[in-house]
């Protein structure tokens, strides 16, 4: 299926111009709907009109900049797919798609909570992939 890059490019200025609410607060381990966009080749895409998908917040650099890992229901059989057992639907964190983003891409916080055990498993997997 062809990607609609034009629609994504039309949405980007609106995301860039967003004023985040005063009470906007992101914390490590949160799951957010994030506008990831229409991306190139194997890069994970968002879906729907906002090009969004759930992401796990791994690291907060500052109020404007965070490191996230996209979540998926597609289970790959490799060390790049870490199961998130504490979520209601079977989900995986796709480590190979980890990226730093602007918090302006974060659309709304999900009510789902990742367990401390799952978050630590993802952290360990990231460390193993990056430093071994």
Q: Has residue 130 got a pLDDT over 70?
A: yes
pLDDT tier at 74 (50, 70, 90 boundaries)? confident
| Residue count (the chain) | 132
Contacts of 47 (CB under 8 A, 6+ apart): 53
Query: Higher model confidence: residue 39 or residue 102?
Result: 102
Structural domain including 101 reads: 5-131
Report residue 4's pLDDT band, with 50, 70 and 90 as the boundaries: confident
What is the DSSP annotation of 20-80?
Answer: PPTT----TT-EEEEE----STTSPPPBTTTTEEEEEEEEEEETTEEEEEEEES---SSTT
Average pLDDT for the chain: 85
Q: Looking at residue 74, which CATH number applies to its domain? A: 2.30.30.110
The pTM of this model reads 0.86
User: Based on the structure, what is the number of domains in the chain?
Assistant: 1
Q: Is residue 125 classed as helix, strand or coil in its secondary structure?
A: helix
Say what the alpha-carbon torsion angle 50, 93, 43, 126 is, to the nearest 10 degrees: 130
- Give the pLDDT of residue 63: 87
């Amino acid at each position: 299926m062809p990607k609609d890059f034009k629609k994504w490019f039309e949405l980007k200025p609106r995301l860039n111009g967003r004023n985040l609410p005063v009470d906007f607060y992101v914390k490590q381990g949160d799951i957010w709907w994030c506008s990831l966009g229409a991306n190139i080749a194997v890069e994970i895409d968002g879906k729907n009109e906002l090009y969004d998908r759930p992401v796990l917040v791994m690291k907060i650099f500052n109020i404007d900049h965070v490191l996230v890992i996209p979540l998926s229901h597609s289970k790959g059989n490799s060390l790049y797919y870490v199961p998130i057992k504490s979520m209601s639907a079977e989900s995986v964190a796709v480590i190979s798609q980890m990226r730093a983003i602007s918090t302006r891409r974060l659309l709304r916080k999900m009510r789902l909570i990742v367990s401390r055990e799952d978050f630590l498993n993802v952290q360990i997997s990231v460390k193993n992939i990056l430093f071994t």
